[in-house]
Structures are given as structure tokens and as C-alpha cells.
A and B are shown apart, each in its own frame.
Chain A
Amino acid sequence: MKQKHNLSKLETIATKLRLHVVDMVAPSGQGYVQQGLGAADIFTSLYFAEASMDPTHPTWEDRDRVFLTTAHNTAIFYATLAERGFFPLDDLKTYVTDGSTLEINSSERMGPFIEATCGSLGQGLSVAIGCALSAKRQGRSSRYYVIVGDGEMQEGQIWEAAMFAGAKGLDNLCFIVDYNFVQSEGPMDLVMSLEPLMDKMTSFGFACQEVDGNDIAALLNAYETARETKGKPSFIKANTVMGKGVASLEGLMFHQLKFPPEVAASARSELEAQL
């Protein structure tokens, strides 16, 4: 293991983020709980270990940029940003209430730490590529991380962008797919399978890795390998489990989970017990 990071500290952060997800969605009784819990380790590893950023100076030009292109997965996204210090934790209580900037789909009206407005699926990878190209020309060493949903990869623009990044060898780009296998209408293989995804991305010119997306150490290793890869963009297939971290919800494949108070209360105490 090449880890410089304190894994148990990161795991505690991931649990805290999951607790925020539960608390944020509980009041409305439904929302993107399962995706948030499932992606918590990706967000933790990126925002609290891998990516260079400064919450007191979010427009710092040499920052690494993280693009969440499945912009509806905001419970975990906002929890991460608030815990990282980009805005007050108290604001999380306004999640999806009228007048709040914490909308279901993240918008840059919240602040510059939302690197692009991506609610319309399939667009964020192209924006990250534009930034990555500019960084190369401007001589910056910043890295560009894009968290894409698996279902989102059905959008044609993803493949236009992937073709471009591969052809240009954009090695400052790291494309992470949150592979939780569920989209709006159900499991991906019933709607439109992406497989064989690793073969496809390899043939598009990416250096590909497949990891357990709920294993922070494995994710950190994958980012490191990506950083060390020259001449090719990186693709990380991060296999995540919906509802990860809450035993009563783990593996329940709901795109929009109904979240009655009993379930929320159980999830809350399960997570609290881990802290």
C-alpha cells in the first residue's frame, strides 16, 4: 500500500457524509438516498484526500477540479462540500426547500465550487475536457476529475467526448463512472447495457481500471495510478453498492427511494453506531 492518508479518518468522514445524506433527505420523505450512500467513498476519497483545493479560495486557478455530471446526486455532493468547508454545514438543512440554492440539481448559482451546471446529462465530461485542454496550454498541472453516472453513459455526447480525450491523450483527465447499475427505469442491463464497458473505454484510448468504489484505499490507489499514467486519459470503473454503509438499505436498487421516517430513523442509528 502506498497510502499516505489516514484511512480510518477518511472512513469516519465517509460515515459522517452518509449521515448528512440521511438527514437531508429524511424531511421530504424521498430522494437520492441510495446513490448518495453508494457514492460516499468516491466523494470522500476525492475531496478529502486526492484533489488539491482550497475552500477559502474556491476560484484558485491551480486547483484540481471535480465535476459531478450526475448533478442530481446532490445530497452526498452538498454534504461533501459543506464538510470540506465550502459553505456552512447549517445550510444543509435547507436542502430542496423553496428559495434555497441547494436544489436537487446542483447549479453554479451556489458558488464557484460547482464547477459546471450539469443537470442535463452527458455534458460535464466535455466541459472538463475544455478545462483540461486550457490547463495544458496554460502550463498548469491541475487535474480534472469527472464523476459520471453509469446510465448517463448512454448519452451520445459522452462518447464524442471520450473519443476526443482518447485521441488527444489528455492525461490530466480522470473519468470516474459511479457504477451502481441503476437508472431511472431500473437495472441497466434491462434498459441499455454498457458492457463490455472496460473494453469500450480501452478502445477509446483510456487507461482503464476497475475498482471497488466503496473501498477508499482502492480508490486512492486508482487515482495515484491515473496520476502516474502519461499520454492517456484515465477511466476508473468504480463499482458501488446502492445504500452502502446502511445494512438495512444496502443493495436496494431504488433510483428515487421512498424514505419513510421509520427507515430514516433506522438508517440514522445504524450510521451513528459507526461513529
Chain B
Amino acid sequence: MNTLTQLEAADFINRSFKPLPRSYGDALIEAAHADPRIVALCADLVTPTETDRFRDELSDRFHNVGIAEANMIGIAGGMARSGEIPFCHSFCAFITKRVLDQITMQAAYPNLTVKIVGFLPGVATLLGVSHQAIEDVAIMRAVPNMAIFEPSGPEYHAAMVQLALDWDGPAYVRMKRPETTPPEFTPQPLQIGKGVIRREGSDITFIAAGLCVTESLQAAQTLADIGIDARVVDMASLKPIDADLILESAAKTGAIVTVENHNIIGGLGSAVAEILADEGVGLPFKRVGIQDRFCEGGTTPYLMDKFGLNAPAIVRAAKTVMEKKK
């Protein structure tokens, strides 16, 4: 076999980079063109957080602070105090757990318009336990003034920018960058504090977020074949959460399964359980999510299966809950 010249090798390498959709990044830069207060900060993960266009088109409003997340959040606090709206970018694990103190003191306590945008939510990464945020929602949910949003797929990424801007304070967005171009899909409008009914049903409700919404829709399809009619709620607004829709779903379907790409402690499942308990609603209920354990690196479908977050796991949970409902 002929060996390649360096130039040829570089050409092969360059052509092997497939441009990924930039559903969030494009929405952010469109918003920034319309609103001069928007600035973007990044802790040396520009392409993985879709901020490359922002860097190139609005370079005077973009700062790569280097691998220094704590400093990034502090800088964002200063910018927000100066009338700007900084969007901070990194992976979920680093932009929440590593800098919780900075977030609480320099964004949340002063109730500043600091937007915290994390990629690689939950188990969904090859990079392993160091890069997996399975407790970020629990942590951020406990921070006063903080809103939390999670899109169910790339078609909702643009809406994340709008929700973050609509919230007049600090907001955390956790999302997974699509690995392939998503199919055409018309998203339903999202609102702060509102869930979206993605499938109507009368026997049981799946309240899901993020990647688990699609899995829940698939599970609902499977269950339909055996005569179980499941409602699927996309709870993209994790905080503030849609208490009315949770209680209405409880009343209507009499059984609830929560589904999240997160530890079952402290996240969506806990939030739903709190609403139900506070209202004195008792009903068959189960939390699908990571069962309070650390995970490992792998492809997303493999991990979703191994840690019980995919459609078959949701079907199993639904059957258990339906047994209790009898």
C-alpha cells in the first residue's frame, strides 16, 4: 500500500470531520444579533458547546477563559452586574459541580442574568464518570432563584435560548449535542413552568425530561400494543416545574412514572414526588433513572440500556406500576 504524504493525511483527516448541527449555537447567535447585551463565555470547549460561530461572528462579545470554570462564573457575574447577559458554556459536570459555590454567590444570590449552559447530561457520554453529570439537577434545583431547563431533543435546543432569556435571573440548561442531523420535526412551544403533553393517554403518565422523552414515547407505543394507554409529558421546565400538569395527570391517569437521565435522588422524580406528597396525592408511582450509583463511559444507547433509562426499562416500570393500580 502506498503511504500518504502529510498533506494527503491532513486532507483525509479534515474531510473525516462531519459538521454537526449547531441547533443551540445557531439560536444563541441569532438571539445575540438581536440583543447586544448577550455575551458568551466558554471554558475551552468551544466546538463541543456549539459556540464556534459566536466566537467567529461576534468575537468582541466572546471570551474563551481557558480551562478555568470558577473564573468564568465570576466574570459572568461581573458582566451581568454591568448590564450584560452572559451565557457560560462547558460540560454539565464541570459547570455545576465544580463551581457550585461561585454559582450560588456570584449568580444566584445576587439573582443575576447569568445563563449556565451544560452539555453531556447524565450518562450520555463516552468520556466516563468524570464527565457524567448524574446529580447536577439535584444540586441546581436546591439553589434559590435558579431555573432549570432540559430539551428533549435538538429540535427544542433553540427554545432553550428563549427560555433562558425569558427567565429574569440565573438559569441552567442541560442538553445533549446531537450526533447526527435530526429528522424534520415541528416542536411545540415551550414555556417556563409548563410541561408539554407529547402523547395523550388515560391509564398512566410518563413524566420525562431530556433524552428520556423519546424513550418514553417509544415505551408508550409498545404499551399501546398490550392495551395500556400512556400519556407522555415532556417536563422541559424542570424548575419551575408544572405542578398543575402533574396533579392533573395524577387525577386523570391514576399512575405516574417519572423518567430521567439523572440519579433518581433529587431530580425530576423527586420533584414530582414532592408535588404529589405536598398535595396528599397517593398513587402507584415509580422513578426511572440512574439507581443511585456511578456509571461508566460508553455509547448513549448502550448506557441508556445498561442503566435502565430506555424504552424497555420504562415498559417494565410501567407494568409494575399498573399491577399496583389494580
B: residues with CB less than 8 A from A are 39, 60-61, 63, 65-66, 68, 70-84, 86, 101-102, 105-106, 109-110
Contact = CB atoms under 8 A, between A and B. Distances in A.
Given A117-B110, A120-B101, A137-B60, A130 B70 contact: no
A127 B76 CA distance: 7
Nearest to B79: A130
Contacts of A61: 83
Contact of B71 (A118, A134, A157): A157
A137 B61 contact: yes
Interface in A115-165: 115-120, 122-135, 137-138, 156-157, 160-161, 163-164
A115 B81 contact: yes
B45 to A, nearest CB: 16
Contacts of B60: 137
Interface centre among A108, A123, A125 (most CB of B within 10 A): A123
A116 B75 CA distance: 12
A156 B71 CA distance: 9
B73 A126 contact: yes
18 contacts: A61-B83, A119-B105, A122-B70, A123-B70, A123-B101, A124-B74, A126-B71, A126-B106, A127-B81, A127-B106, A129-B78, A130-B74, A130-B79, A130-B82, A131-B81, A134-B78, A134-B84, A160-B65
Interface centre among A127, A129, A131, A133 (most CB of B within 10 A): A127
A134 B83 contact: yes
Rank and list the top 6 A-B pairs by shortest CB-CB distance, nearest first.
A130-B78, A126-B74, A134-B82, A160-B71, A160-B68, A130-B75
Interface string A99-126: 0000000011000000111111011111
A126 B72 CA distance: 7
Given A108-B110, A131-B79, A156 B70 contact: yes
Given A116-B106, A160-B68, A164-B65, A134 B74 contact: no
Interface of A: 61, 107-108, 115-120, 122-135, 137-138, 156-157, 160-161, 163-164
Contacts of A107: 109
B82 A163 contact: no
B66 A133 contact: no
Contacts of B71: 126, 129, 157, 160-161, 164
Contacts of B110: 108, 116-117
Contacts of B102: 123, 126, 157
A160 B99 CA distance: 13
Contacts of B106: 116-117, 123, 126-127
Nearest to A136: B60
Contacts of A126: 70-75, 77-78, 102, 106
Contact of B74 (A108, A125, A138): A125
Contacts of B80: 130
A123 B66 contact: no
Contacts of B78: 116, 126-134
A61 B82 CA distance: 8
B37 to A, nearest CB: 10
A125 B71 CA distance: 9
Given A123-B106, A130-B81, A134-B79, A163 B68 contact: yes
A3 B84 CA distance: 37
A128 B77 CA distance: 9
A150 B270 CA distance: 43
